[in-house]
Amino acid sequence: MLKVLLVALLFAFPAAAQDQFQFKCPQPGTVITFSDKSVVTFTRSDGLSCFYKVADGPERGWFASAYSATNLFAVANRETISRLWPAKIGDRVSFHTLNGTTGWNNEIIIREKTKLTIAAGTFDVLVIDVIEEGNRGNIHKSVRRFYYAPDLGFHVKFEPILERGQWGSGTPTPLEAVKVTLP
């Protein structure tokens, strides 16, 4: 009898790891202030691209919560990256790119779902690792860890992790949302 009850409960309440998470962008008018004092105002969305302005600057974009929308890796591999969504814990995509004579192995992994408490509040987040590893003599390996809040539609925390080599064009700044204002 106990076995039957346990099996029935397993089917009634599937494991959280099987949950699918839809991608969305923040609503236009959403404002996020980050720990580096940048204030990001979202303007529109187009599929997996979220567009925003910082202060009175030009409109910028972010693609699939993993890359700047103008990043050459993202542009060249948009279709592959898009396969992450809808996402489940453990999902991953990988692709290879060339930058002159230097090669890169890229992998994006949906690591886990967790709760994150930061200055802007407490969020249910997906931990997304963007791993970039050099090849063809390039010893660089880094992880750009994003804490994507599906209910908000954007990452609320960013951690750059250098595992090997050096950052190419300056060390990325860790960021956390300190304030979120919804329209």
Supply the CATH number for residue 53's domain: 2.40.360
Query: What total of structural domains would you count in the chain?
Result: 1
- Secondary structure element (H or E) that encloses residue 10, with its range: helix 2-12
| Tokens found for residue 153 | 């539609």
Q: The whole model's pTM is what?
A: 0.86
**Considering only CA atoms, which of 150, 181, 154 is closest in space to residue 30?**
181
Residues spanned by the domain of 152? 16-181
Within 10 Å of residue 40's Cβ, how many Cβ atoms?
20
Average pLDDT value for residue range 16-32: 88
Tokens linked to 181: 């204002």
Say if 105 falls within a structural domain. Answer: yes
Is residue 160 in some structural domain?
Answer: yes
5 falls within a domain: no
Q: Give domain status of residue 101, yes or no.
A: yes
Q: 46-90, pLDDT tens digit by residue?
A: 999 999 999 889 999 998 888 888 887 778 888 999 999 999 999
Instruction: Answer whether residue 7 is part of any domain.
Output: no
Q: What token pair was written down for 173?
A: 């700044």
Q: What confidence tier does 2 reach under pLDDT thresholds 50, 70, 90? A: very low
Give yes or no for residue 124 having a pLDDT over 70: yes
103 within some domain: yes
